[in-house]
């Protein structure tokens, strides 16, 4: 469409997987409540003691190798402050027989208590691997082993096989996630065939521990994530890669479930660097900086026990809309802002206001009479793009008798419809941009 001659804009306007689950209570958003510095962590070990754990793995039965690694890991855990541990076993009470299995063979053997590593060691040394593998039912019952939901509740489930009781641990996992119990499962398989590994991947992130040494390493990683302090800085970068963007609302979503985990406004510390955050390393995140339009970074992982730095490009500039000669809009006038070439409305910005946008090119549609279309408006990094339009004039239409009709704008020899007359009244008033118009009406 031809641009009106009276439009004034700046020069910047131009076209253009054994099995581990890590389960936690949902984290509170920063905007709601700060996370305690010394939060109680409860870790429940759910150990496979089914008959299959008697099979050899390397030079010894799987149960012996798993027992050794687990008992060695208890030392640093039971000595850590604000940590309680517990043990649930399954497949250890009823011997499996041909055509018969006990799918309720799961029991909390050592309840939560501080410094109860010795009780877990004693129980693990005496356990016998007898029965079947009720993974789904053990997970369901394990969620009731925690005294309350006020602590950071972690479940580590250890098994060498798949569900044996015609239940679906993947469905249980999804259901518990929906209730906010499981936040991100870890699946670590020991000596599993490829088909078995595939069947466990739906439960969570799968790790293949092919050797006892690999099992030891994976277990340490999971425990590190449960215990260690992890810090994160989010850098909001300008177009020239400077971490100076700030004062932007930010949301961390669980990449797997889509659940909102953290909400906060990005801030800078007194030293000019982004503030340090406590972000749980259990999740993989989709980070959204709520610029206009949003700035997004997918599949972000947090390394446990260390300082993490995340960079997200979020360069912004300012669009300044002005009606000439008016301090404020004389009547509500909105400007529709769209990304160049797109039909979706990005924002309806009132005239005589200023708004930050991501750097780029936008098309504007000002809802005056007639409407103004301003394509190719460029927003530059840290710059201000002014766009001004003239003040509207007033047209009074006075007829002897009310009747149908319309107002048209003259564009050369063409008449372009602007607005219909009100058939209910003989007197009407319109605020129109400067220009040549024609009124066509009938009593």
- Residue 318 CA to residue 376 CA, distance in Å, equals 15
| pLDDT score of 172 | 78
Residue 244, both tokens? 């100076």
- Residue 290 CA to residue 267 CA, distance in Å, equals 14
Residue 296, both tokens? 């997004």
Compute the CA torsion angle 323, 326, 329, 334 (nearest 10 deg).
10
Say if residues 206 and 173 touch (Cβ distance below 8 Å): no
| pLDDT score of 317 | 98
3-class DSSP state of 419: strand
H-state helical runs in 23-116: 62-79
- CATH numeric code, 231-313: 2.60.40
Residue 53, both tokens? 């754990």
How many helices and strands in the chain, by DSSP H and E?
A: 6, 29
* Location of structure tokens 């460029």: 378
Residue 135, both tokens? 């993974």
Residue 386 parent element (H or E):
strand 384-389
Number of CB atoms found within 10 A of residue 120's CB: 21
- Residue 175 CA to residue 173 CA, distance in Å, equals 5
* pLDDT tens-place values along the chain, 443 residues long: 444 433 333 333 233 334 444 443 333 334 433 444 557 888 889 888 999 889 888 888 989 988 888 888 888 888 788 889 999 999 999 998 888 899 999 999 999 998 899 999 999 999 999 999 898 898 888 888 888 777 777 788 888 878 888 888 878 777 766 665 554 556 676 777 777 777 777 776 666 777 778 788 878 877 777 776 678 999 999 999 999 999 999 999 988 889 898 999 999 887 788 988 878 777 789 999 999 999 999 999 988 778 899 999 999 999 999 999 876 545 679 999 999 999 999 999 999 999 999 999 999 999 999 999 999 999 999 999 999 999 999 999 998 899 999 999 999 999 999 999 999 999 999 999 999 999 999 98
Number of CB atoms found within 10 A of residue 195's CB: 8
Q: Cβ neighbours of residue 25 under 8 Å, at least 6 residues apart?
A: 149, 150, 151, 152, 153, 180, 181
Residue 217 backbone dihedrals phi, psi, to 5 degrees: -65, -45
| pLDDT score of 3 | 42
Indicate the pairing of strand 205-209 with strand 231-237. Answer: unpaired
Q: Which CATH architecture does the domain made up of 316-389 adopt?
A: Sandwich (2.60)
C-alpha to C-alpha distances, 393 to 368, 369, 373, nearest whole angstrom: 11, 10, 19
Residue 140, both tokens? 């369901």
| pLDDT score of 32 | 37
CA angle (27 as vertex; 23, 33 as ends), nearest 5: 155
* Location of structure tokens 């980070």: 287
- CATH numeric code, 20-227: 3.40.50.410
Q: What is the DSSP letter of 114?
A: T
pTM of the model: 0.58
3-class DSSP state of 145: coil
| pLDDT score of 229 | 60
Q: Which of 306, 256, 323, 314 is nearest to 288 (CA)?
A: 314
């Amino acid at each position: 469409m031809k641009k009106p001659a009276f439009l004034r804009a700046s020069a910047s306007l131009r076209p253009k997987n054994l099995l581990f689950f890590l389960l936690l209570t949902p984290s509170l958003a920063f905007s709601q409540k700060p996370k305690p510095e010394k939060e109680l962590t409860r870790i429940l070990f759910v150990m496979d003691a089914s008959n299959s754990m008697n099979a050899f793995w390397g030079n010894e039965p799987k149960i012996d190798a798993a027992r050794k690694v687990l008992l060695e890991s208890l030392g640093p855990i039971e000595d850590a402050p604000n940590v309680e541990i517990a043990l649930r076993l399954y497949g250890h009470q009823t011997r499996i027989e041909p055509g018969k299995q006990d799918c309720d063979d799961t029991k909390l053997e050592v309840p939560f208590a501080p410094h109860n590593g010795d009780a877990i060691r004693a129980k693990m040394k005496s356990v016998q691997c007898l029965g079947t593998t009720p993974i789904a039912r053990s997970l369901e019952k394990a969620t009731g082993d925690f005294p309350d939901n006020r602590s950071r509740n972690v479940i580590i489930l250890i098994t060498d096989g798949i569900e044996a009781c015609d239940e679906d641990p993947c469905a249980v996992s999804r259901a518990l996630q929906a209730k906010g119990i499981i936040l991100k499962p870890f699946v670590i398989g020991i000596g599993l065939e490829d088909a078995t590994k595939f069947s466990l991947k739906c439960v969570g992130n799968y790790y293949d521990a092919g050797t006892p040494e690999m099992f030891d390493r994976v277990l340490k990683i999971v425990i590190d994530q449960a215990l260690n302090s992890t810090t994160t800085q989010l850098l909001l970068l300008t177009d020239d890669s400077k971490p100076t963007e700030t004062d932007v609302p930010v949301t961390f979503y669980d990449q797997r479930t889509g659940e909102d985990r953290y909400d906060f406004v990005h801030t800078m510390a007194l030293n000019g660097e982004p503030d340090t955050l406590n972000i749980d390393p259990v999740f993989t995140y989709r980070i959204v900086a709520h610029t206009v339009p949003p700035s997004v970074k997918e599949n972000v992982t947090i390394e446990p026990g260390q300082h993490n730095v995340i960079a997200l490009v979020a360069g912004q500039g300012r669009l300044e809309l002005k009606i000439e000669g008016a301090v404020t809009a004389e009547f509500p006038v909105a400007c529709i802002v769209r990304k160049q070439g797109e039909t979706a409305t990005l924002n309806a910005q009132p005239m005589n206001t200023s708004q930050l946008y991501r750097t780029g090119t936008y098309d504007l549609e000002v809802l005056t009479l007639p409407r103004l279309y301003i394509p190719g408006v460029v927003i530059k990094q840290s710059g201000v793009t002014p766009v001004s339009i003239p003040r509207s004039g007033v047209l009074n239409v006075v007829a002897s008798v009310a009747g149908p009709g319309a107002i048209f704008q003259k564009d050369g020899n063409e008449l372009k419809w602007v607005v219909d007359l009100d058939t209910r009244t003989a007197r009407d008033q319109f605020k129109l941009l400067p220009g040549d118009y024609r009124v066509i009406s009938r009593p």
